[in-house]
Structure 1
Amino acid sequence: MFGEVEHELELHVPASEAWDLFGGLAIGKLVEKEMPEKFQKVELIEGDGGVGTILKLTFTPGVPGPTSLNEKFIKIDAEKRIKEVEVVEGGYLDLGFTLYRIRLEVIEKGEESSIMKTTIEYEVKEEEEVDASLLSIKPLANIIEVGKNYLIRTRATKEAK
């Protein structure tokens, strides 16, 4: 069974600023710092933030779902502002998924605003039963919201100086 879920959120910052946060490693560092209730640790296993980079995400004990997973950056298109990451070890793969891919796309809305479109693509073996809550876009939407708030705070701080 193949499926996908999507979410869009207006960020109220220029697309270039949003891409600077979401297009590389910065978002991983931010969620580790600002979401300790969800993320115990985000570790760089391999790479420098480009295609082929592998991160290990360790979730805080008690968070529903996997305890950890490794994700690999499989596509980064700075011109189109698209980043795709795929779970390559542990996590959702241990829970019956054969594919769990996240696509982040920063869409320019104007000089001072952009939209973050997030998509989760997944595949599950027909014979597997998977907890439907794992197919929710809500945890990813929460990460995007944390990023949005950070971008707005950072921008306000710069403008105040």
Structure 2
Amino acid sequence: MGVFTYENEVTTVIPPAKFFKAFILDADRLYPKIVPHQPKTEVVEGDGGPGTIKIITFSHGGQVKSIKHRLDVVDEKSLTYKYTVLEGELLSDNIDQISKELKVTAGPDGGSILKSVSIYHTKGDHQIDEQKLKIGEEKGLGLLKAAEAYLLANPAEYN
């Protein structure tokens, strides 16, 4: 089994606690407000804390139709969130498991920095296509910017 780590860092003008609450903790309710093709989230096990298993289904007909993931860590004090992808199109004949850690820290001018670390566990000695990873990260950046725009347009939410 191989291990490939991909790190990314993006900034937003939204303060850390508000950004963590909206973009990470309340993602299941925020994303349908900002994504044209509303994803459906179903909790299949757990109460929203560590160990919770969710299935997110996308109706837009893209390459990823669903993601089943397990929540591993929710730390509101350190603004850290970790999960593991268990099933779905993100996994393949070459990728056995994906673990992701998101951490929000204070950024410039009262905003935030979102640091993400994705760890891909590959089957055998398979390599990861970094270009595909960058495309996926760009989609995530688009979602972040849409969330930022929503929060700026609705400043009373998530206080």
Counterpart contact for 2:4–2:128, Cα < 8 Å: no
Specify the alignment match of 2:48 in structure 1: 49
Distance 1:85 1:3, change over 3 A: same
Counterpart contact for 2:93–2:123, Cα < 8 Å: no
Q: Higher mean Cα deviation, 70-79 or 28-37? A: 28-37
Specify the alignment match of 2:59 in structure 1: 60
Specify the alignment match of 1:154 in structure 2: 154
Specify the alignment match of 1:88 in structure 2: 86
Root-mean-square deviation (Å):
2.6
Q: Distance in 1 between matches of 2:107 and 2:33?
A: 29
Q: Distance in 2 between matches of 1:104 and 1:2?
A: 18
Specify the alignment match of 2:116 in structure 1: 118
Which of 69, 72, 75 is residue 74 of structure 1 equivalent to? 72
Distance 1:14 1:40, change over 3 A: closer
Q: Distance in 1 between matches of 2:110 and 2:129?
A: 39
- Deviation string 1:95-136 (CA, Å, 9 cap, x unpaired) is 431121222111112672111122222121135576655423
Q: Which runs of 5+ in 2 are unaligned?
A: none
Q: Distance in 1 between matches of 2:75 and 2:115?
A: 15
Structure 1's consecutive aligned runs of 4 or more residues displaced over 4 angstroms after TM superposition are: 127-134
3-state DSSP of counterpart to 1:84: strand
Q: Which runs of 5+ in 1 are unaligned?
A: none
Aligned residues: 154
Counterpart contact for 2:106–2:113, Cα < 8 Å: yes
TM-score for the superposition, normalised by structure 2: 0.79
Specify the alignment match of 2:141 in structure 1: 141
